[in-house]
Amino acid sequence: MKGVHFLVAFVFLAFAASFAFASDPSPLQDFCVAINDTKEGVFVNGKLCKDPKLATAKDFFFSGLEISRNTSNPLGSVVTPANVAQIPGLNTLGISLARVDYAPYGGLNPPHTHPRATEILTVLEGTLYVGFVTSNPDNRLITKVLNPGDVFVFPVGLVHFQFNVGKTKAVAIAALSSQNPGVITIANAVFGSTPPIRSDVLAKAFQVDKNIVDHLQKQFCTDFLLVFVLMALASSIASAYDPSPLQDFCVAMDETDGVFVNGKFCKDPKDVTEKDFFFSGLNLPGDTSKGVGSNVTAVNVEKIPGLNTLGISFARIDFAPYGGLNPPHTHPRATEIIVVVEGTLYVGFVTSNIANADNRLITKVLKPGDVFVFPIGLIHFQFNVGNTKAVAFAGLSSQNAGVITVADAVFGSDPPINPDVLAKAFRLDKKVVDNLQKKF
The binding site for oxalate consists of 109, 114, 119
Q: Residue 58 in 3-state DSSP? A: helix
- Paired strand residues for 141: 133
Annotated binding site for Mn(2+): 112, 114, 119, 160
Q: What are phi and psi of 406, to 5 degrees?
A: -55, -50
Q: Is the dihedral of CA 207, 211, 214, 215 positive or negative?
A: negative
Residue from 353, 54, 389 nearest 223 by CA:
353
Q: Containing H/E element for 380?
A: strand 379-384
Q: Is the dihedral of CA 400, 182, 45, 359 positive or negative?
A: positive
Peptide bond between residue 415 and the one before it cis (omega within 30 degrees of 0): yes
Radius of gyration, CA atoms only, the chain: 23
C-alpha dist (Å) from residue 140 to 77, 89, 333, 357, 420 = 25, 38, 18, 32, 19
- Please list the helix, strand and coil fractions of the chain in percent, rounded to the nearest 5, in that order: 20, 30, 50
Contact criterion met (CB below 8 Å) for 207 and 412: no
Q: Is the dihedral of CA 188, 430, 214, 327 positive or negative?
A: positive
Q: Please classify residue 79 by burial: count the beta carbons closer than 10 Å to its beta carbon, then call 0-12 exposed, 13-18 middle and 19+ buried.
A: middle
Annotated binding site: 109, 112, 114, 119, 160
What interhelical angle do 430-439 and 419-426 show, nearest 10? 110
Contact criterion met (CB below 8 Å) for 391 and 284: no
For residue 228, give the DSSP letter.
B
